[in-house]
Chain A
Amino acid sequence: MSDLEARFSVRRGDFELDLALAAAEGEVLAVLGPNGAGKSTLLAVLAGLLRPSAGFVRVGDQVLTDVPVAGRARLVAPEHRAVGLLGQDGLVFPHLTALENVAFGPRSVGVRRAEAARRATGWLDAVGLAGMGARRPAELSGGQRQRVALARALAAEPRVLLLDEPLAALDVGVAPQLRQLLREQVARTGTTTVLVTHDVLDAVVLADRVIVLDGGAVVDEGPTAQVLAAPRDPFTATLAGVNLVVGEARDGGVQAPDGRHVAGREPIDAGGPAAAVFAPSAVAVHTRPPAGASPRNVWRTHVVALEPGQAVIRVRTAGSPEIVADLTPAAVAELGLAPGSEVWLSVKATEVGLHRR
């Protein structure tokens, strides 16, 4: 167990990843970001599978990757890093039993067969697979295989554990249990962990801190609860399930790039970047200009798409940024909404939180 610090850049054609991150000993750091944000590249660099264009990776007092701008690069090989990797597909070795899989790490570093088997049995117990050591991966369910993969990763006693969308391939019914298990085991072992995910729930349940990657750079960072409660980036906002209007502080509210003005509970001083945050359920949708409503926070736009949500229909509307409203199916039918419908959106100022950025 050690702390982790990394600062590097990777240039590949048009794509550039440039970031700095740190995780304290035993801390779980979640990396959120849309596809193509550079999340997998980040993990590849940490695991020693990719040499960055420049920068370093340090775990504890050992520098694992060191690529100076000028001078010789040093790269500790993946097998000597003690940096574990658990991906979406756990890649349990298909030709070995569950026990042999979990014992693989200890065996590889010279632990005797009997001792490795004893430890592996303990790990299988810990992940809820007691008595299944003799099974082959083909005889296990997807969730059980992922448990084997987790036990195998932890049995190797990594100083840093990298989790790459570890629950993304599992059935919705299985993912919650495994998420809980991950949380328990990572906490119990005190393993410093970097978790890459697109599922905000993973970050909420597992992570102490969050960084948000977009376009190869860190756009948001901080304690998980804080980042999700007051997102500073549209992607984080979508993840957190809220509307985020980023713009300039003006007239007590936020002026969006497309000219829309959002007023909030408490007015903020003019000048400087600011953000307005409000829930999709706070957005009312009208098919004609709402009469009698306060003129604040009413915008004319049109429907871009209707998407099924849980018990609601998410109405996406045109604009920059795009604003979404959650309506009941009955309301959508009553209003006769379809993509292209002209609508007016209204949001009560009391439902809007304003944040300086």
Chain B
Amino acid sequence: MTLTERRAATRATAGPRPAPPPRAVAVGVPRLLYVLALVGLALLTLPVLALLVRADWPGVPAAITSPEALSALGLSLRTALAATALCLLLGVPLAVVLARTSTRAADVVRALVTLPLVLPPTVGGIALLYLLGRRGLVGEQLDLLFGIRIPFTTTAVVIAQAFVALPFLVIALEGALRSAGDRYEVVAATLGAGRWTVLRRITLPLAAPGLVSGTVLCFARALGEFGATALFAGNSAGVTRTMPLAIYTAFNGAGVTQDSAVALSLLLVVVAVVILVMARAWKPGGRG
């Protein structure tokens, strides 16, 4: 069959059916990568699956609606929101300044910002105590001069959470600001826009995706914070016992069963998933 005949034959058999739409052929990835990717996914999801399987489901409703659980959840949400707000207030300026500075000092500051990421949170807690504790560098002065004592208060929880969560916001936002570049800002300035106008109408909207993902990561990290909180804020019910601390307390069986610890964990997982999904659904710049 010649090529023309074959073409004619194809046309004949295809008949009036519309030709299938063209489909792009992607360059494949090595097969081994799929295997390793699957193992990675398993590492991330199987533990949560185990939690779901081993949960004492009939006891879950009672466990998560107990006054202790609701108090811990409420405290967690309040403190994590407050910590996120604090991170936005301080982290946005930090990210903007870092992204628009190209000195050696900025490199040093950038390294300092990532410090809480590599520091074990418990060390962070001790460090916060040494700074703001009653015998701390600043804490002693605060106590003497103003009678302010931060450790083992809800404020301490917020500070501990902000300490560990701030790097997530700064890194995500700074990356977005750097990749957006300053070209649009220059144009805005030549159009007569002052610095605040440029920041509000150009810089931050263009970095909105980074700002959103950074805020979500920041909130998620604050919600899950344990180590620094435990050492700096303690574990007092209703004041500093957030969800992670409540789970730890329950798991260590202080009069409660491990089952309620698992139930509380499930609650935290659900809250985290809901937040992540909501953040994904919200697309910046999508307003009409």
Contact B190 A47 (CB under 8 A): yes
Contact between A79 and B206, CB atoms less than 8 A apart: no
Evaluate contact between A78 and B186: CB separation under 8 angstroms: yes
Q: Are B191 and A108 in contact (CB under 8 A)?
A: yes
> B213: shortest Cβ distance to chain A, in Å?
17
Number of chain B interface residues as a range: 20 to 34
Complex Cα–Cα for A94 and B188 (A): 13
The listed residue (A85, A95, A108) touching B205 by CB distance below 8 A is: A95
| B190 contacts A108, C-beta separation under 8 Å | no
Tell me, in angstroms, the Cα distance from A289 to B183 when the chains sit together. 58
Q: Is the CB of B189 within 8 A of A156?
A: no
Let me know if A105 is at the binding interface, CB within 8 A.
yes
The answer to whether B190 touches A84, judged by C-beta atoms less than 8 angstroms apart, is: yes
Residue of A nearest to B180 (CB): A94
Contacts of B208 in A (CB 8 A): 95
* Bound-state Cα–Cα, A108 to B201, Å: 10
Specify which chain A residues have a CB less than 8 angstroms from the CB of B188 in the assembled complex: 93, 104, 108
Q: Determine whether the beta carbon of B187 is less than 8 Å from that of A91.
A: yes
**Majority secondary structure of chain B interface residues (helix, strand, loop or mixed):** helix
Interface residues of A in 56-97 (CB under 8 A from B): 77-85, 87, 89, 91, 93-95
Number of A-B contacts (CB under 8 A): 59
Q: Which residue of A lies closest to B187 (CB)?
A: A91
Q: Is A152 an interface residue (CB 8 A)?
A: yes
Q: Residue B202 contacts which of A80, A82, A85, A93 (CB distance < 8 angstroms)? A: A93
- Mark interface residues in B185-216 (1 if CB within 8 Å of A CB, else 0): 01111111111011001100110100000000
C-alpha spacing A78/B195, complex, angstroms: 10
B184 at the A interface (CB under 8 A)? yes
User: Complex: how many Å from CA A89 to CA B206?
Assistant: 17
- With the chains together, A94 CA to B207 CA distance in Å? 12
B285 interface residue (CB < 8 Å to A): yes
What does the 1/0 interface line of A286-328 toward B look like (CB < 8 Å)?
A: 0000000000000000000000000000000000000000000
* CB–CB B192/A82 < 8 A: yes
In contact, A104 and B285 (Cβ under 8 angstroms): no
Indicate if the CB atoms of A108 and B206 lie closer than 8 Å: no
Contacts A49-B186, A78-B186, A104-B201 given: A94-B191 contact, CB under 8 Å? no
Minimum CB–CB distance from A85 to chain B (whole Å) comes to 4
**For residue B195, which residues in chain A have a CB less than 8 angstroms away from its CB?**
79
A109 interface residue, CB < 8 Å from B? yes
Find chain A residues with CB under 8 A from B205 CB.
95
CA distance A216 to B191 in the complex (A): 28
A17 at the interface (CB under 8 A from B): no
Cβ of A347 within 8 Å of any chain B Cβ, yes or no, is no
Q: B257 to nearest A CB, angstroms?
A: 52
Chain A residues with Cβ under 8 A from B194's Cβ?
79, 108
Known contacts A79-B194, A95-B208; 6 further A-B pairs (Cβ under 8 A) = A78-B186, A85-B187, A87-B187, A95-B285, A104-B188, A108-B191
Show 28 residue pairs from A and B whose CB-CB distance is below 8 angstroms, ordered by the A residue.
Answer: A47-B190, A78-B190, A79-B190, A79-B193, A79-B194, A79-B195, A79-B198, A81-B190, A83-B190, A84-B191, A85-B186, A85-B187, A89-B183, A93-B184, A93-B187, A93-B202, A95-B206, A95-B208, A104-B188, A104-B191, A104-B193, A108-B191, A108-B192, A108-B193, A109-B192, A152-B191, A153-B190, A156-B190
Closest 7 interchain pairs by CB? A108-B193, A78-B189, A105-B191, A85-B190, A156-B191, A79-B189, A108-B192
Q: Which residues of B line the A interface, CB within 8 A?
A: 183-184, 186-195, 197-198, 201-202, 205-206, 208, 285
